[in-house]
Structure 1
Amino acid sequence: MKAANNSSATSPGIPNLAPADTDELRWQAVVARSAAADGEFIYAVLSTGVYCRPSCPSRQARRDNMRFFDNPAAAEQAGFRPCKRCRPTGASPQEHQQQRIAELCQWIQRTEHLPNLQQLAEHAQLSPHYLHRLFKQTLGITPKAYTSALRQQRLQAGLSQATSVTEAAYAAGFDSSSTLYNQAALGMAPASYRDGGRAQQITYAIAPCPLGQVLVAMSSKGICAVLLGDDPQQLAADLHQRFPAAACLQQDAALHDSLSAVIQLIEQPHAGIKLPLDIRGTAFQQRVWQALQRIPPGETRSYREVAISLNAPNAVRAVAGACAANPLALLVPCHRVIRSDGALSGYRWGLERKQQLLTREARESADA
């Protein structure tokens, strides 16, 4: 019987796992009965002729009696049959869990008054403690953080239609004006948001850099965008699209120091810079971006590793989505997140730039 080829594509400057290394990592996942690895591969037992998902609770086989495959079809082609206990050809327990939470989220979105944890548990017919753990494990955020983000979305939608901020606040589920100002993360005062952000001013500067062109934009709170590209006009257009109602003014001289610091970060990744940031995103995006800032230069993490670090091993796709939505290139180093096999994957500013950044960081780490 022949196992599937586990070799991965080669990416210059990125270490790739040899087949033996990949099998060793898969073996460790089987030993841990890792549900997070379900769907990544399956394993087959030579003595029984059965193949299983990594989290299968069956008695563990010896390492030398086991073979790994990329998917059930490859295992069946090699002559193995599916396990009747873990049913590797159907939806995994993890997928059932994701579906259950997805249905609960849809119910939350349909409710007029956002429910608390007890009400959610009663609707899901689960204990509050178990629901809280299941919800966070699946989405990476707590039910309270999810409903808070939904309340904010309702506020943002309502501010443009309501006759007053107070009316929009109560309609969105805020119980008082003080709660609104303490909890709403709009990036500006609610009244300014209701007016389309017209009272907000964003200054920006553009300059050549080793990666092409870089734009650095700053609000009254701090740097709110770092964009990479080849065309200065396109970068400015991207900024205006992100802040359509704000007054975006190019002031190269005023932002000279901040711009120079960002360019220095490209040339000297380990130097580090301390600049005030105005990071706007959902509760989960904020958590992902904070995790990315903890990855040292010269090192990488897989999307799954980032999800696990957030105690949300099932939220791999959500982590990838947060990386794609990152508005602060370099300062929030989403380029340090790669695929599990060591290959590069999507980078909103281009895979070539991602490769250049990782190669620079790896070279500087080796020289340190």
Structure 2
Amino acid sequence: MTPQTLSDDERWQIAMAKDRRFDGAFVTGVHSTGIYCRPSCPARAPLRKNVRFYLDASAAEAAGLRACKRCSPNTQSAEEACVMAAIAAIRADGRMTLDQLADLTGYSPTHFQRLFKRTVGLSPAAFARALREEKAREALEGGANVTDALYQAGYSAPSRFYEDTKGRLGMQASDWCDGGKGVRIHWSVIDTSLGAMLVAATDKGVCCLSFNEAEEELRARFPKAGLVQAGEQFKALFKRVTAIVEDPTLDSANIPLDVKGTAFQQRCWEALRRIPAGETRSYGEQAAMLGNPKASRAVGSANGANNIAVLIPCHRVVQADGSIGGYAYGPEIKAELLKREGEG
């Protein structure tokens, strides 16, 4: 993706998300005030009708606009330049330590860590882990040998990959290569006010939540897994899940999940979980959250591949015009979930 390929609608979505990753890709011209800003400018959002977008500061100034004093879109600070240099260094060598990155940029380790996290949203170590994990998962999805994929991605040992993803993604590397073969899934169908709810879990967490489905559909989702009726040990977990379905404003962050998907799907699902109850996003806005506003169609496909309704709230994504859009279990259930959250 290049700045020239972004549409104005995509630029607007980026500006509304105040996404720092697109600073330098374009500037936002506000003709009612006569200023232009970075996409991440913290000032209050202008009316869309007053906004035009320009590729750079020179183009905006040629149109008679002046630089915003709050976000200084016509300059790159020394701090920003250092962060960009550090990102390039991490991409080239994901094993660089915080001290090495600080030496590269000329800041103390403590100050650089704070600066990097403020700009990128992750610490340098978390950013490096995310890059390694994504490389490993893409290689595994492509059928690479587990050990080869992990070493090529920069892990010093397979145990480091398992430790990085422990408690968050659930499925281990070998599961990715063999479609979950050997995984034991415990399931039950529970009556709810939204209809029959199928909920299933491994020992690591919930792997499926759907409506008006039974064992046959579950087996189609996990053809290589062993399916068993849930016993007493899953009663408390399934009770908590049912409570959240009945009241989706309840916090679901403490419900363990065991999910399997491509690296892109994982990012989409994590973005869904960041949408607060009572709010919605369009597919384009969700794509902008991922740093790729042109990927709205791919985002829709990833949302459709979500096996865990409500807990991974794909019902909070609607059409750009505000209409409810599609839902795997029918628009009526989607509308009711949004209504219960105060958004319908």
TM norm. shorter chain > 0.5: yes
Structure 1, unpaired ranges of 5+: 1-24, 36-42, 45-52, 62-115, 119-141, 160-167
Aligned amino acid, residue 152 of structure 1: L
How has the CA–CA distance of structure 1 residues 243 and 295 changed in structure 2, closer, same or farther, with 3 Å as cutoff? same
Asked if 1:238 corresponds to 2:224, the answer is no
Aligned to 2:103: none
Contact 2:265/2:302 (8 A) holds in 1? yes
Distance 1:30 1:206, change over 3 A: farther
Which residue of 205, 214, 237 corresponds with 1:258?
Answer: 237
1:226-250, CA deviations, whole angstroms, 9 ceiling, x for partnerless residues? 1122xx43xx222212221211111
Structure showing greater radius of gyration is 1
- Matched residues in 1 for 2:157 and 2:260: separation? 19
Alpha-carbon contact 2:272-2:312 (below 8 Å) kept: yes
Number of matched pairs: 240
Counterpart AA for 2:265: Q
**2:148 match:** 170
How far apart are 1:252 and its partner, in Å?
5.5
Q: Offset at 1:317?
A: 2.1
Aligned partner (choices 220, 224, 228) of residue 203 of structure 2: 220
Q: 1:143 to 1:277 in 2, by over 3 A?
A: closer
Deviation at 1:343, TM superposition (A): 0.7
Per-residue CA distance 1:294-348 (angstroms, 9 max, x = gap): 2222211112222222332222222222211111100011101111210111212
| Secondary structure of 1:315's aligned partner | helix
CA contact (8 A) 1:201 1:248 kept: yes
Task: Quote the Cα distance in structure 1 between the aligned partners of 2:251 and 2:174.
Answer: 36
> Are the aligned partners of 1:205 and 1:255 in contact in 2 as well (CA < 8 Å)?
no
Aligned mates of 2:175, 2:301 — CA distance in 1: 28
Equivalent residues in 2 for 1:181-196, closer than 5 Å:
181-183=159-161, 188=171
1:286 maps to which of 238, 262, 266: 266
Provide the C-alpha distance between the structure 2 equivalents of 1:188 and 1:360, rounded to a whole number of angstroms.
Answer: 32
Select which of 313, 322, 326 maps to 2:293.
313
Matched letter for residue 147 of structure 2: A
RMSD of aligned Cα (Å) = 4.3
Query: Shift in Å at residue 54 of structure 1?
Result: 6.6
One-letter amino acid matched to 2:148: Y
Shift of 1:117: 6.2
SS at match of 1:255: helix
Is 2:329 the counterpart of 1:329?
no
Seq. identity, %:
34
Distance 1:314 1:195, change over 3 A: closer
1:291 Cα deviation after fit: 2.0
Q: Which has the higher contact order (CA 8 A, sep 6+)?
A: 1
What do residues 48-104 of structure 1 show as CA deviations (whole Å, max 9, x unaligned)? xxxxx976869769xxxxxxxxxxxxxxxxxxxxxxxxxxxxxxxxxxxxxxxxxxx
- Between the aligned partners of 1:260 and 1:279, the Cα distance in structure 2 is 20
Change (3 A) 1:240 1:356: same
Once residues 149 and 273 of structure 2 are traced to their aligned partners in structure 1, the CA distance between those partners, rounded to angstroms, is 36
1:209 and 2:192 correspond:
yes
Consecutive unaligned residues in structure 2, runs of 5 or more: 1-15, 17-27, 31-35, 40-47, 65-89, 93-129
Q: Which amino acid aligns with 1:169?
A: T
CA distance in 2, matches of 1:193, 1:145: 13
The separation in 1 between residues aligned to 2:155 and 2:288, in whole angstroms, is 37
The correspondence of residues 1-368 of structure 1 with structure 2, limited to 5 A, is 31=30, 147-154=135-142, 157-158=143-144, 169-170=147-148, 174=152, 179-183=157-161, 188=171, 197-229=180-212, 232-233=213-214, 236-251=215-230, 253-273=232-252, 274-362=254-342
8 Å CA contact retained: 1:169, 1:177: no
Per the TM alignment, residue 153 of structure 1 is displaced from its structure 2 partner at its CA by: 1.7
